[in-house]
Structure 1
Amino acid sequence: MIRKFALSLLLLFVLFLAGCWNREELNEVAIVTGIGVDKGTPEEGFVLTYQVVAPRTAALTKQSSESGGNGPIILYKGSGKTLFEATRRTAPKLPRRLFFSHSRLFVISEKVANDGIGDLLDFIERNDEFRPTMQLFIARNSDAYNLLKASTPLDKISSNSIVEETRLSQKIWGNNLQVTLGEYLTNPQIPTVIPGLQLSGSDVKVSGLAVMNDQKLADWIEEPEARGLLWIKNKIRSTVVSLGCKPKQNGVGLVITRSDTKVRALMTTNQPSIQIQVTAEASIGEDDCAIDLTDPDEITKLEKKMSNQIKSEIDAVILQEQHKKLDVFGFGGTVMRSDKRYWHEIKDEWKDLFSQVAVKVEVASVIRRSGMRSKSFST
């Protein structure tokens, strides 16, 4: 009896699970791959741009898509006093419903970032269709619309190309940082960084890190200071450190194969200080200085130069942001975890304290491999 009842109950559940009650056919939706926000005229307010995949041309080969038509993407724009109004004004221009599940890119123009993105954050968090995994960018010296419009040679959909370029920039060179909407929205009140994008001719390139403070653009971090920030945040996975020799300024190229950064807060007489310890391992990728790599003393000299180079990049970005009183490194959180009672006493004054806090940087470098040759062709 119990077995029959259980079987009947199971069959009943299957009836409720059958079918897709909220299904949407592919020919009924417009797949949005990128979103841009610009500042319009006072009458326009915000200008919202959606990069939508053109179904017919996206599947064509590069040769056939270049022969004519609008290419694999179409841009739709709408303006409004609020972002919600701009969205509703854009929707009637499309014959299909906007579909955001494949959106990868969210670009904010520099003008919008200068005025503040508080309204934008409110709009995003209230809309359950926006993906928190979308990559967030600031458009430098350009409108977000023009960046979304730009063509990329290797990928027909520019949003995909830009996101992958940023990922590789962080992974291989270590001069940029991927930031998602979800990561930024976890605590938008504290200083943080967002990668920048810039037009270079008809191409789009990753350019610097935008420092956001109180939801407004406060500063730009360029190379090599941008890499110094990634050293502090323990985000360096691989990069190249170039060292000089006489008469060449960059004669030795070291490939970082492993790195680890530890940040600690030290309390002495109620005055916090920060200690940064970086451990880096490298291989020699190029030697145009005729260095005898079989000599341990020469390797030791290179390791010391490498440590000094890394330390100089870290010191430079700390000096820049302390001058601006922008704790993009999270030193305040480090102090809080070290001494919560002290943090509650000084957290309202941390902005001024951060600009004066002593930071000690220690770098230990090791060169593990010299490559397939022990002597340079320049010898």
Structure 2
Amino acid sequence: MIKTSNSIRLAFAIAAFGLLSAGPGSAQDASKPVTDRGVLSAAVTDFIQPGYRNFRDKAQAMGAAISPLCEAPSAPGLEVARKAFGELVTAWSEIEIIRFGPVVDDNRLERILFFPDRRGIGLKQIQQVLAEKDETATTPERLAAKSVALQGLTTLEYLLYGTGAEDLAGGDEFRCDFAGAVAARIYGTAGELVDAWDDPEGIAARLSDPKPENPDFRDEREGLQALLGVFVNSSELVADTRLKPFLGAGVDEAKPKSAIFWRSGLTGTAIAGDMKGLQELYKASGMIELTPEDIQRYGTSAMFELSNAQRTIDRMKQPLPQAAADPETRDAANYLRLVLLSIRDTFSGRIAGGLGLSAGFSSLDGD
């Protein structure tokens, strides 16, 4: 059982020690001078492109797990599909921090993950499809023409874990076909992202090699601004749209069923994946090395805080949403949000200043 405020105070104390004593860290070759373009290129080739490829591959594996479940329904087959879903959620969580470029075109973000869904639109549509046995939802081609809320991870989670999911092991043909179509749509969207980022004349080239004639990333500053925005906006997004809604104002106001992936028990997995993605981008890009040495230690400390937050999730003995409603573990759950807000403030303040940039507006403001 995780103890609360003492462990939280200890975590921040350790992080503070890291701030004072730790040196800078980066994946780039220390023998080579770090340049703006080198950072941008590394972010693309060492994090963004492989991240989307991994997501595509896990989406393909998801479909490959559903097909035999539909052909020969069984409890072990359902468990294989659920395991593949967990790996798919992890892969998406690690790359979803990239919220610029092709992923924001054609409603791809919403097609992959329709969340938050405060009015329950997606759930109502899923239940309607199941109740009516709407055959237009059972092939990826026809599903593509339906609501984006039906095409992504939250729909697939409900089909694999929601009311009636156990019927998949007993031969619920319609539900299984629906799940297969959703998996195929996710794979298709993932493939679009891979193709867009692998296009030699596309966004990867523009971000790695900024030019005045580009429609975006006309100079290195604009590219670095986008990378900085990943740390600022994504940490805030996870804190305020993934954690805050189910944390509530106190134990009595916690809302575990408002959490992302609460049915599958993958809330902590998803949030830990977001944190890992921030760490991997930080390491791959080497962006912190563009800042003065006295600023770099703040980046090191921020990454240490993220590691400690992930360990907090790993040590939880119950699903994260339930931990928020337990007086003995609530502080540990709330600590995760505090870490993410600290990351936001560190990157929008000291690190942005060290780069000679401004953090810009929040992606949550709607401006």
Q: Report the TM-score, using the length of structure 2 for normalisation.
A: 0.24
Higher strand share: 1
Higher Cα Rg: structure 1 or 2?
1
Q: Report the TM-score, using the length of structure 1 for normalisation.
A: 0.23
Greater relative CO, 1 or 2 (CA 8 Å, sep 6+) = 2
